[in-house]
Structure 1
Amino acid sequence: MTIAHVNYKVAIEAAGSPKISWLVCAHHSNLKLKVALQSCLDQTFTDFELIVVANGVSASKVVASVAEWYGSDSRVKIFSTPICHLTFSLSLGVHFAKGEFIARMDADDIAYSTRLEKQYQFFINHPDSTVLGSAFDLIDENGLVQKTIFPLTGDEQIRNALIYKNPICHPTAMIRKQALIEAGGYLGGLQAEDYDLWLRLSANPNNRFANLKDVCIGYRITGGEARGSRLSYSSQGSSQFRHFLMGYGSKWLIASFITFIKIMRLSVSNFLGRQAK
């Protein structure tokens, strides 16, 4: 295992270049993290590295735990930063990743064993594809499946859906690293960094999106989930408005206005909820 306390000047050269780089960011060390990392390692496809970015005030604890669990596994490479910001950590991980593809995973999700194999095979069969997500199980704190989500699968469907929602679940995504870099990498705000990236990638008509019908991960929903929050909607709305300002059509101005209405409805709902207590 490679451990690096990043000084932002020296890059570590990996021995060889794997096809796929897992990218997991973590600011807590717990059993869910170990389960998530183990699921990344227990894949039927084997040509990969696992990039772990430990961030925040507990980064040293994450580094120590990962070293204890996987210190003898050369596939695992961990980088440490005190900056607890997901967009920064993702950018840091992309910088050090050696794979042709970036496979995202959250630190509390579970990758099913054939995920990499199925997604890599799709890219082989569809060499024009840029971003590939998948169907996914929503799991609770105990890992029990609550619901299975089957997203839109085709490029045109996904592009049309981008106007009003995020049609690709980020932890299911595998992305061509070169296309990600050419689009500017991760530039989003505190949340919805994935939606911001999809919009910038969609600006290039040569980039193609898809979702597998196969269920590839267990996506854990917790009390702090970003989905449907005012902060995530604010990030989404700002990305939509920027797209309008960049000349991609009035539909993006309308989309940002609709998102603003969602924020107002959430604010009113939260206010009424507090008043009722």
Structure 2
Amino acid sequence: MKKETRTVVYDDELRIEAYRFEGTRQPFPNHFHEHYVIGFVEDGERCLSCKNREYSIERGNILLFNPGDNHACVQSDDGTFDYRGFHISKSTMLDLAEEVTGKRQLPGFSKAVIRDDEIACYLRPLHEMVMNGISDFGKEETLLFLISTLIQNYGQPFESCVPECPQKIERACEFIRQHFNERIYLDQICRYAGLSKSTLLRAFTKSKGVTPYRYLETIRINEAKALLRKGVQPVEAAMQTGFSDQSHFTNYFNSFIGLAPGVYRDIFFDKSKDGEQRYGA
């Protein structure tokens, strides 16, 4: 039988709790929380009761519990339950909702169980970032996109029009290009551009086709490529382009370029005996 593990991490920057349960068989009796719960079922099948309605939940389901929603669950197969999720206090959710809607009003999610690939694409990477202690602004960006999409699709309606703001978006790009090798925060970009976080994220993504954090990653990778072509060692290239550590740099470089940084460098500096490069540039 799979060994049960339970991990809880509190993120001071985002002010949210992240939970990871693996190999769980424990049933949970009818109860409620004073906070929001946003969860993702990794594996296993359970019978869930929420607000006197019955659900069968399985891998890929997303759970949305409002504060005060009574719920209970029990395993419905012979296996175990694997789950990741967030607990978000009402005060934190109030700040997030105001940021993405412009209204200081708590959302009320209309569905307790959903299956939504877009939400999952925000939820799971965000959970990994919190669990791994990532502290760059990509984490906050992902949280805001997650909450914005949840409220837009399953909560109270809000203004979905994305402003253009072309000059302010270019100012945001300028700031990122000037400070790519530093640890920068979403707040700094917003102040420089003169936009709120929510407006920046939506307008930037509409204008550039990528999020501000992906734009930063791209700038960093392109600068790292230039350094590697000059013979700079990967560890030094990582430091000069603002990556937090060698592993972080290697993973991103490989995902963007399809090669490890050292392999890319060797294309230009690993010579054969006759003095020619072994690989084309």
Shorter-chain TM-score: which interval? under 0.3
Structure with the larger RCO, 1 or 2 (CA within 8 Å, 6+ apart): 1
Q: Give TM-score, length-normalised by structure 2.
A: 0.27
Query: For the pair shown, which has the larger CA radius of gyration, 1 or 2?
Result: 2
Superposition TM-score, scaled by structure 1 size: 0.27
